[in-house]
Chains A and B, each alone.
Chain A
Amino acid sequence: MSSISLSGVSKFWGDTIGVKDLSLDIEDKEFLVLLGPSGCGKTTTMRMVAGLEKPSSGTIHIGQRDVTSLGPRERDVAMVFQNYSLYPQMTVAQNIGFPLRARGVGRNEQRRKIHLAAKMVELSDYLDRKPAALSGGQRQRVALARAIVRSPAAFLMDEPLSNLDARLRISMRGLIKRLHNEIGTSTIYVTHDQLEAMTLADRIVVMRNGEVEQIGTPNQIYNHPRTAFVAGFVGSPSSNLLDGRIENGVFNASGISVAAPLKGDHRKVILGIRPEAISLVNEADAELHGTVLAIETTGDATLVTLSVGKQELIVKREANCTLEPDQAVSMKTSQQGFFFDGESGLAI
């Protein structure tokens, strides 16, 4: 078990930017989640830590060791791939035991560790099966067992749950969390699913276009987004981002005028409002005026899309909401929104 640190790490392929000037410290026993949209460089970052990709510049340390130029074999990290990457000709037991076999661990010791790892992921009854005879969830558990069997310095997991159906994803999420609590090994976990990130992470790194947008605890990311991008990515549904200008301490846009504790007139600003932080009020108290465009029911809530001026706004209402399309609605923010600079996107 060790800490991992990346300093000034970049990866380019010709003109393509994979990762740009990334500095990151993962503490011992920490569960760090890389979160961001597809193509933002999460996998590239993870592959550089695993040694499968060589950084164009920068250094990577695992524990006290500079591993920048070492191959995957010498790094002692374990990786779980999105598509499981099990060895199809081997049984579950042989798959789990492969890292031990590669290290020349003795037969009896192997058997003991395989059984232990299989037990932790509840696969003890499947040791003699081939991967083809397993369900997706079971395959991913084999991949997990193969990672934990040799007590590596760190776990790397690249979207391990994204090929599973929704229910399985939740139970596997629980399993991963539990394993981490039991074993405590530092983990880097990649996902584009903000809910997964929120529930699993000690800290989240939000990435965009190969660069870090914000590093923080789930709480910090959710309640204090550093940029408009983070606010627009986190939450389900994520925050509404509305363009407007500040005039006399008021955020103004067509159909919107929200009090803003900000100075500077005519300044371009982005207002972030959570869908659940908007309430319906009568005309006199309204800060926002809109027309209902669409209504979606999710079972426990109703998502209402409105047009406000030229912009769109999503509001989360109770399940038995009675709004109808084309209805005019007056609204008010029930929590302080987030204000971001219109040019840089940074929180003000």
Chain B
Amino acid sequence: MKPVKLAEGTAVALAQVLFIGFFVFPIIWIFMMSLKNFRDIISYPPKFLFSPTLQNYSETILGAEGALRAGELPEYVRFLINSMIISGGAVCLAALLGVPAAYALARSGIPGRKHIAFTFLSFRFAPELMVILPMYLIYTQIGLYDTYLGMVLSHQLICLPLVIWIMMSFFQDIPIEIEEAARVDGASILLTLRAVILPMSGPGIASALIIAFIFSWNNLIFGLVLAGPNTRPVTMGILQAMTFDQIKWGLMAAAAMVSALPGMIAAIYLQRHITRGLTMGAVK
């Protein structure tokens, strides 16, 4: 190998190590923390060799002994269930509204449809804090505060723009001639959508929904302000480890690891779908 090539290769490898380190190190750190007992966590300098314990996980998932004995569901499991309901519901609703909306935006000649599409996307630009206080006031007034419906609705601010934007690019990629063929063949718009377009859109819908689910799952702020004791999602569960007299670092780390799980699994197994979905909205 020529020396220039070698130097180049080393530089690239070094950059990769730095890059991966930057992203992976916090995860490894949290993961280690979740396996330590309290003394090991607070010891300084930090310990890299310690005897691991599953205590934090069992306390997170199974709950404190008191709660178990009282026959209640452990708090963190309730948070998990809440998150499933909220994010699952939000994604279903976004699919129901967003897929037809994306089709209409992609195909119909509504004047100003580009602006409409962009308006939907711009919901993702504004910090959620901007709308969250007015929403809190409205929610408490009309009884949506701390309800699943209220949470699902608020998460449309996350899911709907993603679904619309990704699906719109996807529909635009389907050759118009196929739809014209269907029209000449005598199909109604509904039959065209059901029998021709949707079967072709399976991969696009899958990536849109996966991405929407992950963004919804990872959201903290709506849960922080709009959810009460009945509907708190997992992201709030992580904060529960901060009690007013101490921070239970081990519990927090374990909770964070568990709640990051869906995103990580999705990232590994559905990578193809996700990158496709993200670039569909971005590159074209």
Contact = CB atoms under 8 A, between A and B. Distances in A.
Decide whether A and B are members of one complex. yes
B175 interface: yes
Interface stretch (A12-20, A81-89, A110-118, A167-175): A81-89
A99 B185 contact: yes
A81 B177 contact: yes
Contact of A102 (B180, B185, B200): B185
Contact of B184 (A52, A87, A101): A52
A99 B181 CA distance: 10
A139 B136 CA distance: 58
Given A88-B200, A89-B200, A102 B186 contact: yes
Contact of A72 (B177, B178, B183): B183
Contacts of A71: 183
Interface in A52-90: 52, 71-73, 76-79, 81, 83, 85-90
Interface stretch (B17-25, B46-54, B142-150, B191-199): B191-199
Given A89-B200, A98-B195, A83 B175 contact: yes
28 contacts: A50-B184, A51-B183, A71-B183, A72-B184, A72-B186, A73-B187, A77-B184, A78-B184, A79-B181, A81-B181, A83-B177, A85-B180, A86-B178, A87-B196, A87-B200, A88-B178, A89-B196, A89-B199, A89-B200, A90-B195, A98-B182, A101-B195, A102-B185, A102-B187, A102-B191, A103-B186, A146-B185, A150-B186
B183 A85 contact: no
Given A89-B200, A98-B195, A101-B191, 9 more contacts: A50-B184, A73-B186, A81-B180, A83-B177, A87-B182, A99-B186, A102-B182, A102-B187, A103-B186
Interface of B is mostly: helix
Contacts of A77: 184
Q: Which of A52, A86, A87, A103 is packed against the most chain B CB atoms within 10 Å?
A: A87
A87 B184 CA distance: 13
Given A85-B175, A87-B196, A88-B200, A73 B183 contact: yes
Interface-centre pick from A72, A77, A88 (highest chain B CB count, 10 A): A72
A79 B196 contact: no
B271 interface: no
A85 B191 contact: no
Contacts of A101: 191, 195
A107 to B, nearest CB: 15
Given A83-B175, A87-B178, A88-B200, A98 B185 contact: yes
Interface of B: 175, 177-178, 180-188, 191, 195-196, 199-200
Contacts of A103: 186
A79 B200 contact: no
Nearest to A81: B177
A52 B183 contact: yes
Contacts of B177: 81, 83, 85
A314 B110 CA distance: 53
A238 to B, nearest CB: 31
